[in-house]
């Protein structure tokens, strides 16, 4: 029997409408690309998003069209999200940190019909424009005065485009499962794959991350959105902040420690979220400048593992609570967060830190399990590790244009590609990537855990562990080491350093010294490159 | 274009599964009907709910069946909700405070196939059982040892029924718009009307009320659920507490000040929600006993208007934050909550109280407007009042068996039957019920506001204002007064008391003195009865 509740589809434009009505004067503050700090409000953003929607509609853009953005966090970028989604089109966030050829490939795969870009990316757009015949409209996110003189066809200034629209434009209506945003995973192997989220998934994820035990967002908070809108959907902050009515502070292109600290102080921000690199920068700046941050209550760290020492430093020296988080583009994107349960708050602080250093607990609406290669569920004992699989209403069911279907199980679970443990308290801990884990005699060895230990050696600058084919054990670990300049070390010394710290059968069979460890565009160790380089490497008997 | 997110229907059994897995040891504590305090956990509740689902399934209950409960808040009642909903049947909460005939009428209208009841209601059930031929199974919420010897057919003890089921029963799968719970409004006029909520609406409302600016629920909280599960769905706490993993404390049948305060202290509760009567009782008990409540952080008051003096007393004398809330059975049921915005926290406390005394601000997902009789939207100025209309995913679209369709506008808004103002800060304030407002010369006069003033007169025990037909003005107000024993007062004195406190055209045309003001079963003034009694009353010229 069907219940008798109203049909009120979860469409994201309802978020900005709610913000305009109930938090209309709440500020959105941006360090603009043009230079000055720009202050606007949710009321203005809602009206301007409607203008944009009207202008796009009038120019023939419609339901299902992909419209790309290549931009830092700004009020205009936020308007683009709501304006584009408000006609049922799809905002497609491009990552400016990728190689130009890769950006062009992604835009081509998506068949974007328009491209909105920050003027700091003008030369990049100029370069790739000729290979984007499907892009009918280029929009520089600025006003006419700042419009760059560039060799880009059909170029218009954003403010001029807005002037074509009307602030009373009526949002289009459609099903809540309509595609809303498109974002490609950078991917260390193969072509990038597009995650296509929906209005429903974005709204549900925003409701989840705002909860007390997630990001703990109140309308009295001021949020510094360091995590980029172009990558992993700004961890849903672009939806959660206006939904709750929190002030939103956008750092634009400047993510260095000094710039971040300046915004934290001037805008009295209380919550922030970003990758470890940003917080390293903040900590270093505070030490060097002797300055303080006074209003900050909570920092959410994700995108990469936050070192235990960083968590401790921020909590004990700055008095700011840290919550470790984990997610993926395919998960809209937040999956876990490390807020302590009642039971764990009673532990001594060092033991609390053991939990805080893990990747956190699943949000409600994110089901998680670890399985072996035969998809048998493994125990939640904090020790046994296996493939981490997830299920939920804001998790991908497939990729755009059916790329990479292997990630999706027949029973509806998404294989994250991570290898992890789950413990009795619900905490998940990433052990490795499944393609990097070393399969030795049917058992798995974590490359990451050996690497983390190896970099503790005083002479080691960076370390990587890869699997080398082995006739008996299938694979055995090779430790690849780049030494610090002026340091010296031999294989015996390295292995002696590891000895006793890991199980005997985890000990690398050999150590190779290299000048430099190769990296991807986003700074991850490029293990594919290492595997190619050591393809012919022969392990000692 | 359809997005590529997983199909993960919002079904309430996922809430108790999440609680069992991530908050399995978290306690649910009940003052049981049998007497002792009973402690259980979410893990046990989830397993027992599955047992119940299995037992019901085996006995042939299925999707769409209505299964009634007549029970106080308890762990068993909570198990019933999840067990019944878990097979796609509908839990139908009956209000034991209604007259037996009315309860039987409602059960008949719903055609309940089973009835679960607390043993304290045995004689009531014995009385109505003969008029419930559609009820095939009566279940006493107790074990065999406490099973009452009663003349009730097909009677089984709850614990025996559970023993028929299996803790590993697999929940049934169905669409999220499937009916989940049924609850009839008591209604001061006409027959009771059934609100039929869905799995989707319950889950969305739970996600909304748990937010920081709503009930602010963390897994570290201990919630005293005073608000009954049989009335207005326990304000969604039965879903929100396990979703978040908060400890849940159920007061059973004892809602007096002493019993409530004892639970608050012994279970270290931090959040509670209930009607003003309960908090009057708590305040009185604390004054008389000299006791304190030490862990409580926040009380949500709704169901009826909380007097400003009560809000002030709880906040300043007990140091507990009060949030005023408003909702309806038809709204699943919370619509507004009075948490302060950043701007309002900067006001002096007396001005904050002005806002706290209003009914609060709309939750995200509750659209509100006030309109005139022609459905034209009125300004949000805090002064102009009109019909309060609401829209959202957890708001009724019609009533069970199409009763009372007049409440639903063609454009999808539900007319709450309340008359209210909305102010620039988003606060709603109830002025009257639309059937009680006096329509004088095309303008509206609030009966409630005159009543509130009249009871301020030292001789007045209770006051009611009703409209009397008038040839020129359509209606004019008659003030009906019951005096305190031993007091005396005349019409001139009463009107003199009101004079200057309200607009001249609001002044009652006459005053009638009565021995007693009639009330409904739930304690509201029965204005229909008063209107009938004064049907032939002639106003002076």
Which chain A residues contact residue B204 at CB under 8 A? 207
What residues of chain B, 463 to 492, have a C-beta less than 8 Å from chain A? Answer: none
What would you measure as the largest C-alpha separation in chain B, in angstroms? 76
Given the DSSP bridges, would you call strands B114-117 and B137-140 parallel, antiparallel or unpaired? parallel
For an interface test with A, the pick among B4, B67, B411 (most A C-beta atoms closer than 10 Å) comes out as B4
| Domain C-terminal end among A218, A237, A256 | A237
Does residue B147 belong to any structural domain of this protein? Answer: yes
What pLDDT sits at residue A519?
A: 86
Nearest to B240 by CA among B203, B200, B199: B203
Percentage of the residues of chain A whose pLDDT score is greater than 70: 98
What pLDDT sits at residue B187?
A: 60
Does residue B208 belong to any structural domain of this protein? Answer: no
Nearest to A394 by CA among A266, A207, A238, A212: A207
Tell me what the pLDDT averaged over chain A comes to: 94
CB B44 within 8 A of CB A434: no
Could you write out the three-class secondary structure of B223-262? EEECCCCCCHHHHHHHHHHHHHCCEEEECECCCCHHHHHH
Indicate the length of chain A as a whole number.
541
Q: Which residue from B minimizes the CA distance to A89?
A: B1
The domain that holds A112 is classified in CATH as 3.40.50.12780
DSSP designation for B522: T
What pLDDT sits at residue A307?
A: 86
What pLDDT sits at residue B411?
A: 84
8 Å CB contact of A244 and B364: yes
Please state, in angstroms and rounded to a whole number, the distance separating the CA atoms of residues B450 and B526: 17
Please state, in angstroms and rounded to a whole number, the distance separating the CA atoms of residues A183 and A327: 14
B152-170: string of b/e by CB count within 10 Å (b at 16+)? beebbbbbebbeebbeebe
Angle of the A237-244 helix axis to the A199-209 helix axis, nearest 10: 70
Shortest Cα distance from A288 to chain B (angstroms)?
33
Please state, in angstroms and rounded to a whole number, the distance separating the CA atoms of residues A146 and A144: 5
CB B446 within 8 A of CB B491: no
Q: Which residues pair with A69 in a beta bridge?
A: A93, A116
For residues A452 and B115, the model is more confident at B115
Which chain B residues contact residue A400 at CB under 8 A? 4
* Catalytic positions of A, written as ranges: 185, 330, 439, 444
At B99-134, the pLDDT tens digits run 899 999 999 999 999 999 999 999 999 999 999 999
pLDDT at A208 over 90: yes
The question of whether B330 is a catalytic residue gets the answer: yes
What residues of chain B, 297 to 316, have a C-beta less than 8 Å from chain A? Answer: none
Of B4, B18, B397, the CB nearest to A400: B4
Q: Within an 8 Å CB–CB cutoff, is residue B193 touching chain A?
A: no
CB A90 within 8 A of CB A202: no
Q: Which residue from A minimizes the CA distance to B205?
A: A207
Show the CA angle centred on residue A21, arms to residues A20 and A24, nearest 5°. Answer: 50
pLDDT at A396 over 90: yes
CB A183 within 8 A of CB A329: yes
CB atoms < 10 A from the CB of B458, how many? Answer: 8
Q: What is the side-by-side order of every strand in the sheet holding B155-157? A: B155-157, B137-140, B114-117, B66-70, B90-93, B179-185, B193-198
ipTM value for the complex: 0.91
| Banded model confidence at residue A402, pLDDT cuts 50, 70, 90 | confident
Q: Which residue reads 């209601």 in tokens?
A: B121
CB atoms < 10 A from the CB of B490, how many? Answer: 10
Does residue B149 belong to any structural domain of this protein? Answer: yes
CB B466 within 8 A of CB B511: no
8 Å CB contact of B342 and A220: yes
Q: Within an 8 Å CB–CB cutoff, is residue A412 touching chain B?
A: yes
CB B99 within 8 A of CB A36: no
Of B196, B244, B332, the CB nearest to A213: B244
What dihedral angle (degrees, nearest 10) is formed by the CA atoms of A435, A438, A440, A444?
-80
8 Å CB contact of B5 and A210: no
Indicate the length of chain B as a whole number.
541
Of the residues B159, B176, B267, B330, which is catalytic?
B330
**pLDDT of chain B, 541 residues: tens digit per residue:** 999 999 999 999 999 999 999 999 999 999 999 889 999 999 999 999 999 999 999 999 999 999 999 999 999 999 999 999 999 999 999 999 888 999 999 999 999 999 999 999 999 999 999 999 999 999 999 999 999 999 999 999 999 999 999 989 999 999 999 999 999 986 655 688 999 999 999 999 999 999 999 999 999 999 999 999 998 889 999 999 999 999 999 999 999 999 999 999 999 999 999 998 899 999 999 999 999 899 999 999 998 888 889 999 999 999 999 999 999 999 999 999 999 999 999 999 999 999 999 999 999 999 999 999 899 999 999 999 999 999 999 999 999 987 666 778 888 899 999 999 999 999 999 998 888 889 888 788 989 889 988 988 999 999 999 999 988 888 999 999 999 999 999 999 999 999 998 889 899 999 999 999 998 766 778 888 999 999 899 888 6
Q: Within an 8 Å CB–CB cutoff, is residue A505 touching chain B?
A: no
Task: Say whether A220 sits in a helix, a strand or coil.
Answer: coil
8 Å CB contact of A243 and B364: yes
Please state, in angstroms and rounded to a whole number, the distance separating the CA atoms of residues A539 and B3: 48
What pLDDT sits at residue A467?
A: 93
At A242-285, the pLDDT tens digits run 999 999 999 999 999 999 999 999 999 999 999 988 999 999 99
Beta carbons within 8 Å of B9's beta carbon, 6+ residues apart: B173, B174, B175, B176, B199, B200
Q: Within an 8 Å CB–CB cutoff, is residue B426 touching chain A?
A: yes
Please state, in angstroms and rounded to a whole number, the distance separating the CA atoms of residues A367 and A348: 29
Q: Within an 8 Å CB–CB cutoff, is residue B6 touching chain A?
A: yes
Q: Within an 8 Å CB–CB cutoff, is residue B399 touching chain A?
A: yes
DSSP designation for B170: P
8 Å CB contact of B212 and A200: no
The radius of gyration computed from the CA coordinates of chain B, to the nearest angstrom, equals 24
Could you tell me what percentage of chain A is helix, strand and coil, using 3-state DSSP and rounding each to the nearest 5?
35, 25, 40
What number of CA atoms fall less than 13 Å from residue B263's CA on the CB side? 30
Token digits of residue A214: 């997630």
Q: Which residue from B minimizes the CA distance to A5?
A: B396
8 Å CB contact of A8 and B197: no
Cis bond before residue A57 (omega within 30° of 0) = no
Q: Which residues form the domain of A502?
A: 436-533
Shortest Cα distance from B248 to chain A (angstroms)?
13
Given the DSSP bridges, would you call strands A321-327 and A298-301 parallel, antiparallel or unpaired? parallel
DSSP designation for A224: E
Q: Which residues pair with A273 in a beta bridge?
A: A225, A300
Please state, in angstroms and rounded to a whole number, the distance separating the CA atoms of residues B451 and A150: 72
For chain A, how many helices (H) and strands (E)? 16, 25
Does residue A25 belong to any structural domain of this protein? Answer: no
8 Å CB contact of A244 and B210: no
Please state, in angstroms and rounded to a whole number, the distance separating the CA atoms of residues B63 and B57: 10
CB A120 within 8 A of CB A103: no
Q: Which residue from A minimizes the CA distance to B3?
A: A179
Please state, in angstroms and rounded to a whole number, the distance separating the CA atoms of residues A370 and A357: 19
Q: Work out whether the CA dihedral B221, B224, B230, B234 comes out positive or negative.
A: negative
| Banded model confidence at residue A473, pLDDT cuts 50, 70, 90 | confident
Cis bond before residue A333 (omega within 30° of 0) = yes
| Banded model confidence at residue A232, pLDDT cuts 50, 70, 90 | confident
Angle of the B13-22 helix axis to the B237-244 helix axis, nearest 10: 30
CB B315 within 8 A of CB B308: no
8 Å CB contact of B90 and A22: no
At A476-519, the pLDDT tens digits run 999 999 999 999 999 999 999 999 988 898 999 999 999 999 98
Which chain B residues contact residue A7 at CB under 8 A? 397, 412
What pLDDT sits at residue A188?
A: 55
| Banded model confidence at residue A189, pLDDT cuts 50, 70, 90 | low
Token digits of residue A126: 């100029």
Average pLDDT score over residue span A166-176: 95
What pLDDT sits at residue B539?
A: 86
8 Å CB contact of B1 and A25: no
Which chain A residues contact residue B297 at CB under 8 A? none
Nearest to B156 by CA among B58, B252, B16: B58
Shortest Cα distance from B55 to chain A (angstroms)?
21
Please state, in angstroms and rounded to a whole number, the distance separating the CA atoms of residues A466 and A366: 31
Does residue B300 belong to any structural domain of this protein? Answer: no
What pLDDT sits at residue A83?
A: 98
Given the DSSP bridges, would you call strands B474-483 and B460-470 parallel, antiparallel or unpaired? antiparallel
Token digits of residue B283: 């305040």
Beta carbons within 8 Å of B496's beta carbon, 6+ residues apart: none
Does residue B79 belong to any structural domain of this protein? Answer: yes
The domain that holds A448 is classified in CATH as 3.30.300.30
Does residue A476 belong to any structural domain of this protein? Answer: yes
CB A407 within 8 A of CB A415: yes
Q: Within an 8 Å CB–CB cutoff, is residue B369 touching chain A?
A: no
* pTM score, whole prediction: 0.92
Please state, in angstroms and rounded to a whole number, the distance separating the CA atoms of residues A429 and A420: 5
Average pLDDT score over residue span A432-460: 88
Beta carbons within 8 Å of A514's beta carbon, 6+ residues apart: A480, A481, A482
Of B217, B341, B391, the CB nearest to A220: B341
CB A80 within 8 A of CB A69: yes
Please state, in angstroms and rounded to a whole number, the distance separating the CA atoms of residues A307 and A328: 19
Beta carbons within 8 Å of A452's beta carbon, 6+ residues apart: none
What residues of chain B, 215 to 244, have a C-beta less than 8 Å from chain A? Answer: 216-220, 243-244
CB pairs A-B closer than 8 Å: 194
- Alpha helices, DSSP H, located in B174-214: 199-209
Cβ-based burial of A7 (10 A; exposed 0-12, middle 13-18, buried ≥19):
exposed
8 Å CB contact of A21 and B211: no
What residues of chain A, 102 to 161, have a C-beta less than 8 Å from chain B? Answer: none
Domain count, chain A: 2
- DSSP string across A243-271: HHT-EEEE-BT--SHHHHHHHHHHTT--E
Of A200, A220, A247, the CB nearest to B345: A220
Please state, in angstroms and rounded to a whole number, the distance separating the CA atoms of residues B481 and A493: 96
| Domain C-terminal end among B237, B257, B288 | B237
Cβ-based burial of B203 (10 A; exposed 0-12, middle 13-18, buried ≥19):
buried
Token digits of residue B107: 């059960």
Does residue B87 belong to any structural domain of this protein? Answer: yes
Q: Within an 8 Å CB–CB cutoff, is residue A187 touching chain B?
A: no
8 Å CB contact of A213 and B219: yes
């Amino acid at each position: 029997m069907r219940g008798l509740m109203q049909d009120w589809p979860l469409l994201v434009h309802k978020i900005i409408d709610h913000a305009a009505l109930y938090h209309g004067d709440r500020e959105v503050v941006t360090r603009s690309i043009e230079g000055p700090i720009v202050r606007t409000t949710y009321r203005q953003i809602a009206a301007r998003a409607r203008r944009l929607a009207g202008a796009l509609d009038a120019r023939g853009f419609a339901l299902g069209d992909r419209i790309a953005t290549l931009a830092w966090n700004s009020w205009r970028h936020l308007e683009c999200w709501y304006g584009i989604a408000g006609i049922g089109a799809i905002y497609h966030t491009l990552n400016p940190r990728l190689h130009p050829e890769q950006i062009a490939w992604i835009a081509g795969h998506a068949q974007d019909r328009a491209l909105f870009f920050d003027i700091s990316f003008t030369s990049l757009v100029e370069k790739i424009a000729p290979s984007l015949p499907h892009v009918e409209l280029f929009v520089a996110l600025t006003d006419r005065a700042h419009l760059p003189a560039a060799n880009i066809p059909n170029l218009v200034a954003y403010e001029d485009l807005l002037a074509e629209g009307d602030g009373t434009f009526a949002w289009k209506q459609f099903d809540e499962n309509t595609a809303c945003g498109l974002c490609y995973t950078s991917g260390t192997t193969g072509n990038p794959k597009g995650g296509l989220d929906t209005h429903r998934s974005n709204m549900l994820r925003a409701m989840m991350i705002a909860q007390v035990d997630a990001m703990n967002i109140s309308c009295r908070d001021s949020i510094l959105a360091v995590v980029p809108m172009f990558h992993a959907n700004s961890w849903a902050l672009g939806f959660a902040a206006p939904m709750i009515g929190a002030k939103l502070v956008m750092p634009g292109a400047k993510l260095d420690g000094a710039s971040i600290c300046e915004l934290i102080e001037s805008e009295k921000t209380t919550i922030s979220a970003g990758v470890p690199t940003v917080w390293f920068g903040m900590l270093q700046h505070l030490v060097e400048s002797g300055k303080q941050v006074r209003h900050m209550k909570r920092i959410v760290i994700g995108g990469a593992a936050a070192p235990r020492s960083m968590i401790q430093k921020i909590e004990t020296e700055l008095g700011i609570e840290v919550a470790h988080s984990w997610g993926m583009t395919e998960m809209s994107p937040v999956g876990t967060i490390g807020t302590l349960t009642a039971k764990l708050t009673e532990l001594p602080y060092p033991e609390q830190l053991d939990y805080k250093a893990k990747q956190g607990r699943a949000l409600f609406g994110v089901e998680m399990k670890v399985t072996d290669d035969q998809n048998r569920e493994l125990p939640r004992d904090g020790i046994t590790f296996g493939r981490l699989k997830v299920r939920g209403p804001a998790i991908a069911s497939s990729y755009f244009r059916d790329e990479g279907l292997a990630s999706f199980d027949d029973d509806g679970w998404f294989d994250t590609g991570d290898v992890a443990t789950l413990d009795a308290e619900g905490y998940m801990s990433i052990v490795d990537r499944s393609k990097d884990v070393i399969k030795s005699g049917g058992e798995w060895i974590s490359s990451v855990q050996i690497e983390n230990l190896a970099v503790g050696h005083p002479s080691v600058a960076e370390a990587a562990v890869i699997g080398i084919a082995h006739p008996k054990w299938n694979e055995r670990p090779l430790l690849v080491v780049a030494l610090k300049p002026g340091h010296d070390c031999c294989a015996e010394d390295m292995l002696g350093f590891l000895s006793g710290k890991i199980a005997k059968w985890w000990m690398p069979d050999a150590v190779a010294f290299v000048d430099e460890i190769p990296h991807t565009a986003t700074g991850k160790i490029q293990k594919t490159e290492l595997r190619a380089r050591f393809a012919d490497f022969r392990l000692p008997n």
